[in-house]
């Protein structure tokens, strides 16, 4: 039963993130950890965000300023 609850929480968190632009991590981690162990919740949330980011990149790749993205990525490497 827990996987269905986590999937529902992830969907609601992603929906809130799509509407407001933030908050999905807070919702998924805080509510998901009530139903599954926190280590599993962190791992699943990471996979959720990775899939979400990858999907958005595929959908909106023609609108991405790749030159600016490269500059930001190169600038962030020393500080990561």
Which of 64, 52, 65, 61 has its CA nearest to residue 22?
52
User: For the chain, what are the domain ranges?
Assistant: 2-76
What band does 2 get if pLDDT is binned at 50, 70 and 90?
A: confident
What are the backbone angles phi and psi of residue 23, rounded to the nearest 5°? 100, -10
- Average pLDDT on 1-20 reads 83
- Average pLDDT on 6-15 reads 86
């Amino acid at each position: 039963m827990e996987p269905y609850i986590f999937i529902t929480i992830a969907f609601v968190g992603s929906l809130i993130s799509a509407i407001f632009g933030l908050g999905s991590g807070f919702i998924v981690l805080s509510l998901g950890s009530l139903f599954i162990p926190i280590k599993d919740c962190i791992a699943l949330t990471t996979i959720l965000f990775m899939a979400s980011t990858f999907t958005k990149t595929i959908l909106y790749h023609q609108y991405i300023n790749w030159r600016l993205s490269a500059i930001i990525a190169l600038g962030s490497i020393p500080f990561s």
